[in-house]
Structure 1
């Protein structure tokens, strides 16, 4: 696809950024379409941006998807970022110090905490909504990540919330 806002020898495409033909040297250069904020030439800067893209994709998947993922996380990231999962996993660990799966689980647990804190859903309903295979699976991941059980966390949230509400259960006016 040719764009009128860039020079005639530059073409753009979805997911691939700029496909630039250098007519003087007759070389073809292809850059990945990871939106970089900083140094375009720095390999380290590119890696940081790829990791940020991975984190954004994972957060969006967890926060906004009501449907279970139709493919596993590795294929999902590969398909959206157009890099091998091995490369993605290696740079994630290199820059973050922990693996992609741990980040994904952490995002899911944060969403569970949000649902426990701000909704009237039971732990069973949350496990179903978040596509856990069972309540036990959710409880195990929750305990490993936070150190407490989901039901304990919910009770703590309700107790904390009750200190700030009126006797009739409504929030005080400010």
Structure 2
């Protein structure tokens, strides 16, 4: 049985959710961003309510609507791609998502836009900008190295997109260093 969970957007989230299922004595097969696969074929109503309450206590939410489940899967795939993939982002986003979710991109895009009032492409850009902020805050890479790692065509393109999204330049950000948590995007 698969459960889809809103606001589960980082590896620490995975650990927190894992703890919930362990404390409730429910065996999991896999835990990934936004979803948990259980050994059980289904949960009793009482088990489901206990899981739901325990997750809500931690700021997570069980998703029951199929369209919202799909949006959660899309977000999880994008977050995983931008924040947790070690190689550079030289992928075609539409092909990547269609392949990963076994659904044509037009359907994914339509559902995402209707549910989120945002496009997948803009969400992807928002995630990339948050990754830029993260990398800038570490201070280990130059802006040129960050642009290359995140597959920007140039530092100028990265800087322009950064300013458009945040209202400040990367240099101004480095002086201020304020970031959003991934679930706030």
State TM-score, norm by structure 1. 0.63
Would you say 1:87 and 2:97 are equivalent positions? no
Aligned to 2:81: 61
Aligned-partner Cα distance in 1 for 2:138–2:119 = 29
Q: Which has the higher contact order (CA 8 A, sep 6+)?
A: 2
Aligned to 1:115: 135
Name the count of aligned residue pairs: 118
Aligned to 2:72: 52
Aligned to 1:150: 170
Deviation at residue 52 of structure 1 after TM alignment: 0.3
Structure with more helix by fraction: 2
After superposition, the CA RMSD in angstroms is 1.9
Aligned to 1:73: 93
Deviation at residue 38 of structure 1 after TM alignment: 4.8
The structure whose Rg is larger is 1
Q: 1:129 aligns with which of 149, 160, 166?
A: 149
State TM-score, norm by structure 2. 0.59
Aligned-partner Cα distance in 1 for 2:111–2:146 = 32
Tell me if structure 1 keeps the 8 A contact 2:152–2:158: yes
Deviation at residue 67 of structure 1 after TM alignment: 2.0
Deviation at residue 74 of structure 1 after TM alignment: 0.6
Aligned-partner Cα distance in 1 for 2:155–2:63 = 44
